[in-house]
Structure 1
């Protein structure tokens, strides 16, 4: 069984004026990311929207020392970007579509993602979203350590750091045994 993880494709990470944006790089993957997401949903495969959620007054979160405030609860910055938003709205009531609020880079850290995948007998994970070398990478590392087979949808991942993006793609295949599709 397979699942697709759609990681952090939100306004703050993709819009030109987003707080921590991949800008043009993130915008270039929109069509492919939306297409693969729709294909998985319509095929009945499990699709997880793993979305960063931060609180404005959270003085203890380590990312506050590294990045400007982003994906704050209750703000436009946390909304899905572009044509992915209506896809989610159209299908969000289906039993194979699931939203996870995540507080850390990895979609597994502090969430019930592993339980949701295992109860559905998921073995193969397809990863999409941003940032290739941060949240997608940390999710992939946790998935690898939990024994999932990994597939990175290359035309559906992006970063604001081109060097980091290329390094992460090599790391996925070289160190995590992921298949780049």
Structure 2
């Protein structure tokens, strides 16, 4: 079965202590795992997608504007991948099986060419890592399930700023989406 890794929103604004919408320590604690999983997929020749939340400055029409502080603004360091993942991405960004995808909604499929890219490659199984487990990772997993993909969640490579939401999402992935938790 052909597989892909969807690496969601592991950016400065979501991870760094001074990020504008940070998961803080919970996200920082998964750094080694998220980099390790990403390296494994790249080295195996699997398709690796960096699905990164990207917003425009002063976009008062975006639905998140009233829910969250401004974050991942295009052209700022907030939208850059965080820490070791950023350093690794710079090494692999031109590798054929690596794709950087800017997204504007929680769901990485919505308004993007993600489904087309996956289907072109015959991908049947999607592995998800990143933040936040109960928002962007969850909405992407739900859409993947609805599109018929097998979903795998890397438990040690997802995090949230909401511990209760994180635990709920892990159960939801498994019990409602039939996802494999590894």
Gapped regions of structure 2 (runs ≥ 5): none
Number of matched residues? Answer: 181
Alpha-carbon distance, 1:52 to partner: 0.3
Match of 2:89 in 1: 88
In the alignment, the residues of structure 2 paired with residue 105 and residue 19 of structure 1 have an alpha-carbon distance, to the nearest angstrom, of 17
Match of 2:132 in 1: 131
Gapped regions of structure 1 (runs ≥ 5): none
Using the size of structure 2 for normalisation, the TM-score is: 0.99
In the alignment, the residues of structure 1 paired with residue 58 and residue 136 of structure 2 have an alpha-carbon distance, to the nearest angstrom, of 22
Deviations 1:78-127 (CA, angstroms, capped at 9, x unpaired): 00001001111101111100000000001101000000000000000000
Match of 1:173 in 2: 174
Match of 1:47 in 2: 48
Alpha-carbon distance, 1:75 to partner: 0.3
Alpha-carbon distance, 1:138 to partner: 0.2
Alpha-carbon distance, 1:60 to partner: 0.6
Match of 2:39 in 1: 38
> In the alignment, does 2:151 pair up with 1:150?
yes
Alpha-carbon distance, 1:175 to partner: 0.4
In the alignment, the residues of structure 1 paired with residue 138 and residue 106 of structure 2 have an alpha-carbon distance, to the nearest angstrom, of 8
In the alignment, the residues of structure 2 paired with residue 20 and residue 108 of structure 1 have an alpha-carbon distance, to the nearest angstrom, of 22
Using the size of structure 1 for normalisation, the TM-score is: 0.99
Deviations 1:136-166 (CA, angstroms, capped at 9, x unpaired): 0000000000000000000000000000000
> In the alignment, does 2:164 pair up with 1:163?
yes
